[in-house]
Amino acid sequence: MSTDDLDDMADLLGDPLVMEYYPRPKDRREAAEWIGWNLRNYAEHGHGLWIIETHDGEFIGDCGLTWQTVDQSLALEVGYHVKTSAQRLGYAAEAATACRDYASSHVLAVRIVSIIHLDAPTFTALRVRGVQLHARPPGHAAPGQRRQRRGDASSRVAAPSSRAAVPTKTPAGVGPDRHADPP
């Protein structure tokens, strides 16, 4: 993700359907701040959210690894946002799996979480892929607010298929560099 992605990210984060479980959609200035936050994460941690795009270069969303407070301690989260027209097509699950595998192969954390809404299709997708799901941790948003479940993604899941969009745009040497040759 870079400042060159501002138009796509502003559209994505400004979409009320994509941002349904956030307090509100983000405006263009907030999308620029989101990109800045990710650039800082790359510099500080070596990872953050990356752009998801198809093999043809179509923007799908973002997905990646960020540190979040869960149960009053830091946990590595696999998080993502997928544009409305690309939801329920498997892109998020496969990109999240690629990120989870990257975190595992680089030993970034013992446990990886994903904070999701109870009723979201994501809940079913994670469960189908073998992720252990646990109730909302204390201190996380109540129903109607931000996302409210987490999944412990340390269990095995199927490897992503070659048709999927996966995180692609990263600074040199950072993250799963799969732009030309996805797993």
pLDDT, one tens digit per residue, over 120-152 is 666 666 666 555 565 554 444 444 444 333 333
pLDDT, one tens digit per residue, over 152-172 is 333 222 233 333 333 444 333
Q: What is the DSSP string of 28-93?
A: HHHHHHHHHHHHHHHHHHS--EEEEE-TT--EEEEEEEEEEEETTEEEEEEEEEE-GGGTTSSHHH
Delineate the domains of the chain, giving CATH numbers in brackets: 3-169 (3.40.630.30)
Asked if the model's pLDDT at residue 27 lies above 90, the reply is yes
| Cα 28 from Cα 7, distance rounded (Å) | 8
The answer to whether the predicted template modeling score (pTM) of the entire model surpasses 0.85 is no
